[in-house]
Amino acid sequence: MTKINESIDTGWNFDHSYARLPDKFYSRIEPEPVREPELAVFNQSLAASLGLNTNSLKNGEVAAVFAGNEIPEGSEPLAQAYAGHQFGHFTMLGDGRAVLLGEQITPSGERLDIQLKGSGQTPYSRGGDGRATLGPMLREYIMSEAMHALRIPTTRSLAVVTTGETVIREKPLSGAILTRVAASHIRVGTFQYAANWGTDEELRALADYTINRHYPEVEAEENQYLSLLQEVIKRQAKLIAKWQLTGFIHGVMNTDNMTISGETIDYGPCAFMNDYDPATVFSSIDRKGRYAYGNQPGIGAWNLARFAETLLPLLHEDRDKAVELAEDAIKDYSQQFHHHWLAGMRAKLGIFNVEKDDQSLMEDFLHLMETHKADFTNTFLALTFDKSDGVADLFEKEDFKQWQERWQKRLSRQEESKDDSHQLMRNSNPAIIPRNHRVEEALEAAVEREDYSVMEKLLDVLSNPYAHSPEQEEYTRPPEPSDQPYQTFCGT
């Protein structure tokens, strides 16, 4: 393993605060070098915001860094330990195919994790090969950048590098490594690991570190650990409401995939819904619909309850009192989620003020979409521009016309003008989402033909989903009807 020449100003500015936690929480390990790294896709704008000066390196050197063949100056790689409930079953986990290079301190003072995903075996690989394949890594790149453009808190993707090696899954596939950027990789599962295999002192060290890194405003609170729980609940309630408002289905809401920072993480079997149906599931491994679209808010509460359980020794020395404090905090989640969802739905319908019957108006509209199998994104788009393009069947239904009359009367009972409502709807209803068939089209071109132009064009139109530009129109069309339901796969 080689280090980059420190005389070259590449812009890396690493710190390693996580490594100052007890060593129980990580293992020191370097990425495994790959045979022939080549840069497949690179996020230049993200690199610039991180303060990286990639122009000072040759293309081959950039590929070598993001493949793990060369370690940037100041990096001290490690793999993180954590646990998690996977489909309800608790198990020991950890970074089985990822290595944290360090925490980049950006020019604006942000602290962001830089992680290589698919970089080889670690002590937590559990028999796996530690590698990743090109399709899923490109998929995460597309989906995470689309989520960022949709203003949904998310980890981001800096680069994808092909390795020149074959990875065996159901069949031989091209290997790849993704560079992921995150506020941190601290998960509910990290706290579960500390609570189950650590001491109370180690749990407290993790909680103190998390507060200092993500919630410093609660350090002065009388019970800062209760405040930590409450703040995490707030962020998750807001995040999951945003998922529901865009039709996003995470697909694998295990506790190890819920971040304490409130970012969306792990874009394995995720997808966006076409026709509105709360029972929609895309993941090939979610056979019972545990993580269906309509179940996501409830699973969020379940995961947060698991987080609260880990904090009991810190919440109060009397366990019964600790349980009472935790339960009271968790009860607030549903109300907070509901508040964010209602506010988001009002914006999507151009409503500024609050009336008690708003929820009924919204739920009746969703019921109409479900009954008539209307496209979620395009229906709101049609309302925004008063056009029935793509959803004519719904607009011709008598029950929809009756609902539309109710909606128009509702809009008339607010001071804001029709133009104001229209602008609010434009800003709240994206023209495009990463449609599943478009994502698959881009992945097939890149993986099968090494043609990245399809992906590049898709990323370009997804970069400003609220532009409502002519260039986006062809990407708004849903897929042709098919007898085969769309499925996504985990990638491991």
* Residue of 114, 168, 130 whose CA lies nearest to 34: 130
Residue 107: CB atoms within 10 Å: 11
Amino acid at 405: E
User: Which helix H or strand E contains 300, and what residues bound it?
Assistant: helix 296-315
CA angle 130, 135, 139 (to 5 degrees): 105
Beta strands in 106-235 (DSSP E): 111-117, 132-133, 156-168, 172-182
Active-site annotation holder among 95, 113, 256, 266: 256
**CA distances (Å), 120 to each of 44, 133, 137, 204, 322, in order?**
25, 12, 14, 31, 41
Amino acid at 39: L
As a whole number of angstroms, the distance between CA 284 and CA 463 comes to 28
CA angle 6, 121, 191 (to 5 degrees): 90
**Structure tokens belonging to residue 66:** 């993001």
Residues contacting residue 224 through CB under 8 Å, at least 6 positions apart: 211, 218
Residues contacting residue 175 through CB under 8 Å, at least 6 positions apart: 34, 118, 131, 132, 133, 134, 162, 163, 164, 165, 166, 167
As a whole number of angstroms, the distance between CA 345 and CA 60 comes to 48
DSSP label of 149: H
Residue 77, helix vs strand vs coil:
coil
**Structure tokens belonging to residue 121:** 């075996």
Residue 199, helix vs strand vs coil:
coil
* Residue of 234, 235, 272 whose CA lies nearest to 250: 272
Rg, C-alpha atoms of the chain: 23
User: Which helix H or strand E contains 101, and what residues bound it?
Assistant: strand 98-105
**CA distances (Å), 8 to each of 55, 107, 492, in order?**
11, 18, 36
Q: Respond yes or no: is residue 320 known to be catalytic.
A: no
Residue 54: CB atoms within 10 Å: 21
As a whole number of angstroms, the distance between CA 130 and CA 289 comes to 28
The size of the chain, in residues, is: 492
Residue 288, helix vs strand vs coil:
coil
As a whole number of angstroms, the distance between CA 89 and CA 427 comes to 40
Q: Which residues are catalytic?
A: 256
